[in-house]
Amino acid sequence: MTVSKTAAVDAAKAPRPRKEPAEGQPESTALQMGELSELLGYSLKRAQLRIFEDFLRCVAPLQLTPAQFSVLLLLDKNPGRNQTEIANTLGILRPNFVAMLDGLESRDLCARIRSTNDRRSHILVLTDKGRAVLARAKKLVAAKHEARLNELLGPANRAALLSMLATIAREF
């Protein structure tokens, strides 16, 4: 397999949808999307990637991924639940979840405590630092990320979108 370095550099620069070619650049017409633009799965994936990129940018000072943020939120609302309950609720596979917890624990954002009821099970709790980081993250997400989405779609459409996504996640 041969891949030119120039092309690799170009691709790293522009992994996202094509912009108009700059003045003097060779013209390359946009591709025909065909059935792709009608595929719900494809559109969902593209929108989700955009939203995750923006999320990462908005909470960059705190270095939290969307998945880490969702774990912190859930631990805050459900203290004393075990690893399996949290992982299952979020739909995260166990090996991935264990790796994520290792990362959060090494940053002193959460702690695993051996359950007194079941010695094989670990209870998860937020640390004080975890609570503080979560509070800052929530503010950034609300003020920068969700507010812009709300502005883009309008509150009624945003609510309709959330509702349809929940229907798909629950019933499809």
Q: Which of residues 16-45 bind a second copy (CB under 8 A)?
A: 16-18, 28, 30-45
121 or 127: CB nearest a second copy: 121
Give the shortest CB-61-to-a second copy separation in angstroms: 18
> How many Cα atoms within 13 Å fall on the side-chain side of residue 34?
1
Q: Which of residues 64-103 bind a second copy (CB under 8 A)?
A: 66, 70, 73-74, 76-78, 81, 83-89, 91-94, 98, 102
Separation of alpha carbons 109 and 125, rounded Å: 9
Q: Cβ(108)–Cβ(126) under 8 Å?
A: no
The conformation of residue 59, written as its DSSP 8-state character, comes to T
144 binds a second copy (CB under 8 A): no
Q: Cβ(100)–Cβ(83) under 8 Å?
A: no
Give the shortest CB-128-to-a second copy separation in angstroms: 19
Q: Which of residues 104-123 bind a second copy (CB under 8 A)?
A: 120-121
**What residues contact residue 17 under an 8 Å CB cut-off, 6+ apart?**
none
Residue 41 is which amino acid?
Answer: G
Give the shortest CB-107-to-a second copy separation in angstroms: 16
